[in-house]
Amino acid sequence: MSAIETTGLTKYYGDTRAVADLDLTVREGEVFGFLGPNGAGKTTTIRTLLGFLSPTDGSATVLGRDATDEAELIEAKRHIGYLPSDPGFDDGVTGRRLIRYHAELKGDERSAELLEQFDPPVEREIGEYSRGNKQKLAIVLAFMHDPDLVVMDEPTSGLDPLMQDRFYEFVRGERDRGKTMFFSSHILSEVRKVCDRVGIIRDGSLVALEGVEELLDRSGKRVRVSVEGALDADDFDLAGVGDLELRDGDASFVFTGEYDDLLGHLQGYSIRDLEIEEAPLEDVFMQFYGGTDSPAVSARAEAAGESRGDVGETAAESQEGDGDA
């Protein structure tokens, strides 16, 4: 059984389409990265899956339950955790009191363990919390009932780098325990650290869906080469070369072709230095969100489904909003 499945899921805010005909399957036991900048449709999708919003069209199931059926969704939510990007807490209560309240609502299997690991100041009123401490408390609340599925919307927002690394390690451990996590983010470095597969959403439509390593492999390598003598663009008239930058005897480009062809081509030059490295994740993201001035970006975006055309306006982030469980 899939943990999450959507078919033709569509959501409009008035005349603005926030999510467009979304077909998505999240497998049990995986960490699924749902990527896109603010306003791309991530939060609208999450709020629809959790029943905070009703879809305009299409269907969605969560843990095998119909997300549009209130009774079924209530049953599913017994086994779901939700970690919002900006949790809305009552500032006048202590973290301890909020944990007790959530324990009465949904049970408490793990709060002691989670408090030791993330250490929010639970004896203080939440109004005194920093942004990071609120997020640490939200992590405890999301996982304390040991859910089978955790839906996370920008989960590391407000956490310092050390706590982010602790959270990534925790997520990997939860996956090893068989838990499923739906991980919405616009921070690409997070994806490589924790996700098994990734879906990229643009203007409310899915433009890529594949394993993280496959996505990076298809995105090519960043090549820097320095040779004796001057270079011009004709020297790199080779299939797979894009984003070419030249300066005297130095060249930098993204290469998506066959590496044997590249190395064979470079044998014709007197090479002083050569670097071949994985393209930065930001470059991968720009395939789907940057301009199409670069031939390499255009070709790769088209291969990923960009040629399906414009899908309309992006829903404003303020329309998507955030919510707490």
pLDDT in tens, 142-185: 999 999 999 999 899 899 999 999 999 999 999 999 999 999 88
pTM for the complete prediction?
A: 0.74
Q: Kindly state the average pLDDT of the residues 276-305.
A: 54
Q: What is the CA radius of gyration of the chain?
A: 23
pLDDT class of 256 with cuts at 50, 70, 90 = confident
Q: What is the pLDDT of residue 211?
A: 86
pLDDT class of 304 with cuts at 50, 70, 90 = very low
pLDDT in tens, 46-79: 999 999 999 999 999 999 999 999 999 999 999 9
Instruction: Return the domain boundaries, the chain.
Output: 4-215, 220-278
Q: What is the pLDDT of residue 85?
A: 85
Q: What's the fold here for domain 4-215? A: Rossmann fold (3.40.50)
Residue 250 identity (one-letter amino acid): D
pLDDT in tens, 87-122: 999 999 999 999 999 999 999 999 999 999 999 999
Least confident window among 162-166, 250-254, 316-320: 316-320
Q: What is the pLDDT of residue 310?
A: 36
Of 287 and 92, the one with more pLDDT:
92
pLDDT in tens, 11-53: 999 989 999 999 999 999 999 999 887 788 999 999 999 999 9
Q: What is the pLDDT of residue 287?
A: 67
Distances (CA, A) of 16 to 3, 41, 267: 29, 11, 54
Task: Answer yes or no: are the C-beta atoms of 39 and 84 closer than 8 Å.
Answer: no
CATH label, 220-278, candidates 2.60.40, 3.30.300, 3.30.70, 2.40.50: 3.30.70
pLDDT class of 281 with cuts at 50, 70, 90 = low
pLDDT class of 319 with cuts at 50, 70, 90 = very low
Averaged pLDDT score across all residues of the chain: 85
pLDDT at residue 138 is higher than 60: yes
